[in-house]
Amino acid sequence: MLDHDHYTYRVTWSEEDGEYIGLCAEFPSLSWLDQSPEDALKGIRQVVSDVVKDLADNGENVPEPLASKKFSGKFQVRVTADTHRALAIKAAERHVSLNRLVSESLASSC
């Protein structure tokens, strides 16, 4: 197991498999199925640990944990002209900037 395991894990029920599935955001191709959520988490953490060790041993890039990354708070989104217009109208009607409208909308969906 990693000494400093700061990756982003999630455990959810898989109706299709009839088991819990452990996932890691930084390694989207990896998963672990198990009967209990605790074992699914333990399993995916071990798989990630093994993959990270293998990558490091082979001199390959190891993904940086999302928790360790620095984010600027800025990113660019492309939308259609009609969507841009509709958002601008909605922002004007609410007396807020387009940036604030979109930022609050995104925050409420997280």
Residue spans of the chain under pLDDT 70: 1-4
pLDDT digits (tens, 9 = 90+) for 84-105: 999 999 999 999 999 999 999 9
> pTM, whole model, 2 decimals?
0.74
Q: Exposed, middle or buried by CB within 10 Å (0-12, 13-18, 19+), for 98?
A: middle
Domain ranges of the chain: 9-66, 71-108
Give the per-residue SS3 of 25-77.
Answer: CCCCCCEEEECCHHHHHHHHHHHHHHHHHHHHHCCCCCCCCHHHCCCCCCCCC
